[in-house]
Amino acid sequence: MIMLKGKTAVITGASRGIGRAVALMMAESGADISVIFSGNEAAANEVIESAEKFGVKAKAYQCDVADFSQSKIVCENIFKEFGKVDILINNAGITKDGLLLAMSETDFDSVIDVNLKGAFNFARHLSRYIMKSPAGRIINISSVSGIAGNVGQANYSASKAGLIGLTKTIAKELASRNVTCNAIAPGFIETDMTAALPEAVLEKVQTAIPLKRMGKAEEIASLALFLASDAAAYITGEVIKVDGGMYA
């Protein structure tokens, strides 16, 4: 089993879905965790309580990741509380779907701000601490929509494609400090986001997936755990699809 004992991980959007699965899997592997959430304090506290059962230190921080100044304060508080940061998982994301011709400027901007600028904010503010780690890791949760595009998701696809460019640049800039940066591009994963899709859409999606099912949040978390470990020390600048073969 991969162990992260002695490491400190920061996970944005960690109160539910993929972020929650990543936080708990890292806690189970021995990492102390900082859970970043936007609004659901009860859900964030539940993640903390579950993480503490593994004997690790865990704390929740409410933050609008799109806010540069607020993100800076939260990152500084994390460092004060934990004394170091080894791993950053940029997972926070939202959707505001709509066809290009009908999409409002507000819907476009808000998705870019949270999904892309939020990742920049946390990478920008935490990199100074991560560079002090003997094995720093930054992992960005992108999407296959950022690789292939998706009808009705001009904003979401653009934000996730931007994350890929951000990932590759961070990988090059921080490599000399032994920090790796990789992106995970999930396909359709069973989360609150996909649960809101109409049944007919879900059936069509699963038919298009060679493995004939949607993925589980834990399957994304398993890859994040590997990329955060010493076993992935020579992997950086990569974008790894986890989509059941949909875009193979």
Contacts of 11 (CB under 8 A, 6+ apart): 19, 22, 23, 26, 33, 34, 35, 36, 89, 91
The residue assigned the tokens 């709509």 is 98
pLDDT band at 153 (very low <50, low <70, confident <90, very high): very high
Question: What digits encode the pLDDT tens for the residues 161-174?
Answer: 999 999 999 999 99
Contacts of 137 (CB under 8 A, 6+ apart): 86, 87, 88, 130, 179, 180, 181, 227, 228, 232
- What is the C-alpha separation between 91 and 102, in angstroms, rounded? 27
Q: Which residues pair with 80 in a beta bridge?
A: none
pLDDT of 213: 92
Report the chain's mean pLDDT, rounded to a whole number.
96
pLDDT of 200: 80
Map out the domains of the chain as residue ranges: 8-242
Tokens, residue 48: 């903390």
Q: List the catalytic residues.
A: 156
pLDDT of 191: 83
pLDDT band at 5 (very low <50, low <70, confident <90, very high): very high
Question: What digits encode the pLDDT tens for the residues 55-104?
Answer: 999 999 999 999 999 999 999 999 999 999 999 999 999 999 999 999 99
pLDDT of 206: 86
pLDDT of 1: 72
Rounded to a whole number of angstroms, the distance between the first and last alpha carbons of the chain is: 28
pLDDT of 194: 73
Question: What digits encode the pLDDT tens for the residues 174-230?
Answer: 999 999 999 999 999 988 777 777 788 788 888 889 999 999 999 999 999 999 999
Task: Say which CATH topology domain 8-242 has.
Answer: Rossmann fold (3.40.50)
- What is the C-alpha separation between 150 and 125, in angstroms, rounded? 31
> Is residue 248's pLDDT more than 80?
no
